[in-house]
Amino acid sequence: MAEQTITFTIDGVEVKGKAGQTIMQAADEAGVYIPRLCAFKDLTPHGSCRVCVVLVNGRPQASCTQPATEGMVVESETEEIQKHRRNIIDMLFVEGNHFCMFCEKSGNCELQAQAYRLGICAPKYPYQFPVRDLDASHPDIFIDHNRCILCGRCVQASRDLDGKTVFEFVNRGTEKKIAVNAEAKLADTDIDISDKACDVCPVGAIIKKHIGFATPVGRRLYDTEPIGSDIEKKN
């Protein structure tokens, strides 16, 4: 049986998707980019970062989890939604310790790239300068909690793709952090450098050692083109 096609609009542009797709999946295929931080192609979306929130028939919904339905009216790049996205990115920057100038991930970082795409020159909230630790016990991988945005990608990737459950969230609210499944350190877990969990971090919180600043400035992922350009080129 042929898949049922559904038609809806994003910012007034007609988008065709398949029944059962989320708004984000249909938008991606149609060449419309909706900004995101926690959603990742091989993982189950869970709508936690709220960057991909759009207005569906006037109500805010996470586009990574909301199914697309016939005739829905989606608003994404409106001033109101962009302001909301800016606020989230601003808050993520001030609640961690994001020192882009010496981060190996800089230029390939999705948090930074979202800020670039939104044209953010400085966050409007006061910096929190939280005290967070760094776990460099493993010979090949380190976790820098200063840069973690708690997207949960590593938790899911380790559990669903690697079948290991190396990472888990602990604590609540401002105390929430990523913990490792061991008595003490990352070195005591069964994580391996070839694990998918090492590749999914959108920021520089989980970094592979011995690579450093491999790509020169100017040739990194988001140096010249905004994040989402690959999707928008399909249009």
Partner 1 sequence: MDKPKIATASLAGCFGCHMSLLDIDERILKLVELVDFDKSPINDIKEFTGQCLVGLIEGGCCNEENVRVLRDFRKHCDILISVGDCAITGGIPAMRNGIPLEECMNEAYLSGPTVYNPNKIIPNDKEIPLILNKVFPCHEVVKIDYYLPGCPPSADTLWEALVALLNNKPLDLPYELIKYD
Among 1, 2, 121, 214, binds partner 1 (CB under 8 A): 121
Q: How far is CA 40 from the centre of its chain?
A: 7
Largest CA distance in the chain: 56
Q: Which amino acid is at 89?
A: I
Give the interface segment with partner 1, choosing from 49-57, 112-120, 161-169, 196-204 (CB under 8 A). 112-120
Distances (CA, A) of 7 to 13, 71, 111, 150: 10, 6, 31, 34
Among 1, 2, 122, 214, binds partner 1 (CB under 8 A): 122
Closest separation in Å from C-beta 59 to partner 1: 31
Is residue 214 at the binding interface for partner 1, with CB under 8 A as the rule?
Answer: no
Distances (CA, A) of 203 to 96, 148, 152, 159: 11, 7, 12, 19
Q: Which is nearer to partner 1, 190 or 230 (CB)?
A: 230
Is residue 125 at the binding interface for partner 1, with CB under 8 A as the rule?
Answer: no
Is residue 87 at the binding interface for partner 1, with CB under 8 A as the rule?
Answer: no
Is residue 142 at the binding interface for partner 1, with CB under 8 A as the rule?
Answer: no
* Total site size for partner 1, rule CB under 8 A: 28
Is residue 169 at the binding interface for partner 1, with CB under 8 A as the rule?
Answer: no
Contact 8, 74 (CB under 8 A): yes
Is residue 174 at the binding interface for partner 1, with CB under 8 A as the rule?
Answer: no
Q: In terms of Cα–Cα distance, which of 24, 52, 46 is closest to 153?
A: 46
DSSP state of 30: T
The residues of the shown chain that bind partner 1, judged by CB under 8 A, are 97-103, 106-107, 112, 115-117, 119-122, 126-127, 129-132, 217, 223-226
